[in-house]
Amino acid sequence: MTPVKVQSGNSPLILGQPHGGTYVPDDIQPLLNENGQGLADTDWHISKLYEGLVEDVTVVEATFHRYVIDANRDPAGASLYPGQNTTSLCPTTDFDGKPIWRDGHEPDAPETERRRLLFHAPYHDALANEVTRVKDIHGYAILFDCHSIRSDIPFLFEGTLPVFNTGTNNSETCDAAIEKTIVDVCLVAKPHSHVLNGRFKGGWTTRHYGKPSDSVHAIQMELAQRSYMHEMPPWDYAPERAAELRPHLKNMLSGLKEMNPSLLANS
């Protein structure tokens, strides 16, 4: 299976989807323990949730599971959130802090590098190419990184996560007009709660690509999964919940796609 799927559009907007894939290669799958083989930490149904919301957008989607290697982590292995619990480039635990590999089969440095070359690098090569292509067309590009996570994970954060968790690394990864476009939708998306740069400030993708001074803007949306699915196995999609959420996501994406570039610095 190819590690990345690309749907190229001609608008300024790119959707990144690094964590929706469930593919685990045959040589890796047996190394996962029973807990790991459940693939619990998937951004379940993320492509379905965003499908068809706006036309002519680019979508870059990883097909491999984050337990193989995490496409939203620094390839050098640096932590995104120093001092806080998180998972690594090749995770050794799930989001609850429980081991995911059979004893003695955790990926070592050479194995991590092998997976980086096979999976992480192709995903980001594709994403970087699309950012460049879109920027060449419009003079700027907007990357909206699509994520979701269970609402309650004590290992990672206290309490229940808001529905909309917008991350711009403290307003560094995109122009203020882009951040405001998303926050304004969140403010009226009742009864859904929201936070800007809370527990999730934007992962490596957002921080790596988001360079407003170079006319590339990036923003991460981490959705609490209760807003569109059931947060327990078999992780079913909840159409009635999704139908309430999707109009708000459409408003966000439409606002970004149709934004007047004169509002953006350096564009």
Q: What is the pLDDT of residues 173-204, one digit of tens each?
A: 999 999 999 999 999 998 999 999 999 999 99
- At residue 183, the 3 state secondary structure works out as helix
Mean pLDDT confidence for 11-23: 98
Q: What is the pLDDT of residue 81?
A: 64
The predicted structure's pLDDT at residue 84:
64
Judge whether residue 28 has pLDDT over 60.
yes
Give the torsion through C-alpha atoms of 257, 18, 35, 232, to 10 deg. Answer: 10
d(CA 133, CA 61): 17
Mean pLDDT of 229-252: 98
* pLDDT value at residue 79: 60
- Indicate the domain borders of the chain: 4-263
Is the pLDDT at 219 greater than 70? The verdict is yes
Q: What is the pLDDT of residues 94-114, one digit of tens each?
A: 999 999 999 999 999 999 999
Question: Strands across the sheet with 4-7, in order?
Answer: 4-7, 58-62, 13-17, 141-149, 216-224, 164-167, 194-196
Looking at residue 1, what is its pLDDT? 86
Main-chain phi, psi angles of 186, to 5 degrees: -60, -35
What digits encode the pLDDT tens for the residues 111-122? 999 999 999 999
Out of 3.90.226.10, 3.40.630.30, 3.40.50.2300, 3.40.630.40, the CATH code matching 4-263 is 3.40.630.40
Q: Helices marked H in 212-238 — which ranges? A: none
Residue listed under structure tokens 């045959």: 26
- How many angstroms separate the CA atoms of 129 and 8, rounded? 11
Q: Give residue 231's pLDDT.
A: 98
Residue 239 pLDDT level (bands cut at 50, 70, 90)? very high
135-151: pLDDT as tens digits: 999 999 999 999 999 99
Helix (H) or strand (E) holding 165: strand 164-167
